[in-house]
């Protein structure tokens, strides 16, 4: 059980370089199981979720070597079971093994995945689209290729990992598969980019309609994972709320259009200063936002909702948050309240934040990965010292958070 101790009130200054995207790296690693040839993935973030996935794969005879953000992976000797239940339970993204193992073996049996508790987080979309069966006391998801729906799959809702699974299940399948209502997040696009480089035929990348023409085999390639736009957004908020001024490097600026719009609406100065570089300068007076509404890409990302709420605690007036995706993603507000934020939770999806309120350092806990990032941001903005527990959630998705923050001048330390 490790904790962060953060002394707040210091404006962040300097440059920060963004790592590879967690949500792109995980499906791309899974996609490497679709070829018997070795692959090299570059710009892979050194985070716990990646390590957990690699442990699951190693137990399935996949050879991996992960050093300096480069992952060499060879799935020639992949076996389909037994899949380590305890590891799968640690992370919801282990569901991404469904598509590739199914494609290699014609069937798959996967223990139910775990992960951050963000409300119901149903996997019905996966189950329906892939025609899965649930067995063994609701413990095992199983699928057979012969039961896969053919030709046209209309997703029951836009789901990121369900779209990724269907793509991976379809690229080596005979004939053409049309996926309608596909998710089009940058990480879904990155997975398609990798697969096409491996020889797959995916059309419509970046849209909600994908067309996949099955190919006989995929080849091993070298591919670089896209930068993490969610990490970039997190640092932009941290600078804005601490009255800081930073340059964020290695960010694909257009991936965050809705986020920059919202940030500028609060009065923060946002300026492109080079290819993949953006400068953030805090505003002395932060303005409230009538409604911050999360939705699927390219709308405001749910994963930046909690961090952004911290900025809104410092805004003049009343801001409304409308979290449309998850019903459990406002729980962190109780922790912000302990720090002195004034808010009103209207229902599991909506809350009002009344600002500005000085935040004070207290003991708080992170209730999931992005809530954890929000707690760190709140602590950076607070008066005095904040102790944050449950930081293993943060380590799952943010690479070297304290090192990067320290370089920007923050006073943060990790204790056991």
What's the CA gap between 5 and 270, in Å, rounded? 29
Q: Give 287's strand partners.
A: 316
Beta carbon nearer to ligand EPU, 179 or 247: 179
Selection from 389, 414, 416 nearest residue 401 by Cα:
414
Beta carbon nearer to ligand EPU, 56 or 286: 56
What's the CA gap between 75 and 92, in Å, rounded? 22
Tokens of residue 219, six digits: 């080849």
Selection from 106, 168, 169, 113 nearest residue 140 by Cα:
113
Measured between alpha carbons, how far apart are the two ends of the chain, in Å?
A: 6
Q: Is 32 a catalytic residue?
A: no
CB of 13 to ligand EPU, least distance (A): 27
Beta carbon nearer to ligand EPU, 182 or 247: 182
CB of 259 to ligand EPU, least distance (A): 13
Beta carbon nearer to ligand EPU, 122 or 269: 122
State the helix-helix crossing angle for 160-170 and 22-31, rounded to 10 degrees: 20
Beta carbon nearer to ligand EPU, 45 or 244: 45
Selection from 56, 1, 12, 67 nearest residue 410 by Cα:
12
State the helix-helix crossing angle for 257-265 and 305-313, rounded to 10 degrees: 10
CB of 91 to ligand EPU, least distance (A): 8
What's the CA gap between 206 and 314, in Å, rounded? 35
What's the CA gap between 231 and 396, in Å, rounded? 12
CB of 246 to ligand EPU, least distance (A): 22
- 3-state SS class at 58: helix
Establish how many alpha carbons lie within 13 A of residue 151's alpha carbon, considering only the half-sphere containing its beta carbon. Answer: 0
Beta carbon nearer to ligand EPU, 42 or 120: 120
Per CB under 6 A, residues contacting ligand EPU are: 22-23, 26, 92-93, 116, 120-122, 125, 157-162, 183, 187, 296, 302-303, 325-326, 369-370, 397
What's the CA gap between 362 and 53, in Å, rounded? 34
CB of 125 to ligand EPU, least distance (A): 6
Selection from 27, 21, 184 nearest residue 93 by Cα:
27
CB of 353 to ligand EPU, least distance (A): 21
Beta carbon nearer to ligand EPU, 84 or 163: 163
Beta carbon nearer to ligand EPU, 23 or 288: 23
CB of 122 to ligand EPU, least distance (A): 5
Tokens of residue 68, six digits: 């300096």
> Can you say whether residue 184 is alpha, beta or left, with left for phi > 0 and alpha for psi between -120 and 50 degrees?
alpha
Long-range contacts of 78-81 (CB under 8 A, 24+ apart): 78/33, 78/104, 80/104, 80/105, 80/107, 80/108, 80/109, 81/109
Task: Give me the catalytic one of 32, 116, 132, 184.
Answer: 116
CB of 99 to ligand EPU, least distance (A): 12
Active site residues: 116
């Amino acid at each position: 059980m490790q904790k962060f101790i953060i002394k707040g009130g210091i404006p962040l200054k300097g440059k920060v370089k963004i790592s590879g995207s967690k949500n792109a790296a995980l499906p791309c690693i899974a996609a490497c199981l679709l070829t018997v040839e070795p692959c090299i993935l570059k710009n892979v973030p050194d985070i716990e979720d990646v390590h957990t996935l690699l442990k699951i794969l190693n137990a399935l005879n996949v050879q991996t070597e992960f050093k300096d953000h480069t992952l060499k992976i060879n799935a020639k000797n992949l076996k389909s079971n037994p899949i380590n239940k305890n590891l799968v339970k640690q992370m919801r993204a282990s569901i991404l093994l469904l598509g590739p193992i199914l494609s290699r073996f014609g069937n798959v049996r996967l223990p139910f995945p775990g992960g951050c508790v963000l409300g119901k987080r149903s996997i019905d979309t996966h189950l329906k689209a892939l025609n899965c069966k649930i067995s063994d006391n609701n413990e095992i998801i199983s699928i057979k290729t012969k039961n896969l729906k053919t030709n046209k799959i209309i997703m029951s809702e836009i789901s990121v990992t369900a779209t990724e699974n269907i793509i991976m299940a379809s690229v080596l399948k005979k004939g053409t598969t049309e996926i309608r209502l596909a998710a089009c997040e940058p990480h879904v696009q990155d997975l398609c980019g990798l697969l096409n480089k491996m020889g797959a035929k995916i059309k419509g990348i970046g849209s909600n309609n994908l067309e996949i023409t099955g190919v006989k085999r995929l080849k091993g390639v070298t591919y670089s994972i896209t930068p993490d736009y969610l990490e970039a957004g997190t640092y932009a908020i941290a600078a804005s709320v601490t009255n800081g001024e930073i340059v964020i490097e290695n960010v694909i600026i257009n991936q965050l259009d809705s986020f920059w719009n919202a940030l500028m609406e609060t009065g923060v100065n946002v300026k492109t200063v080079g290819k993949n570089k953006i400068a953030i300068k805090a505003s002395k007076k932060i303005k409230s936002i009538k409604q911050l509404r999360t939705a699927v890409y390219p709308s405001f990302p749910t994963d930046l909702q909690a961090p952004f709420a911290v900025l809104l605690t410092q805004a003049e007036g009343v801001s409304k948050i409308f979290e449309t995706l998850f019903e459990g993603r406002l729980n962190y507000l109780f922790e912000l309240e302990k720090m002195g934020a004034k808010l009103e939770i209207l229902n599991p999806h909506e809350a009002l934040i009344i600002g500005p309120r000085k935040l004070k350092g207290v003991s708080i806990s992170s209730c999931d990965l992005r809530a954890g990032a929000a707690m760190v941001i709140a602590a950076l903005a607070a008066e005095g010292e904040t102790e944050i527990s449950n930081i293993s959630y943060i380590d799952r998705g943010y690479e070297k958070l304290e090192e990067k923050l320290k370089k920007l001048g923050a006073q943060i330390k990790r204790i056991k």
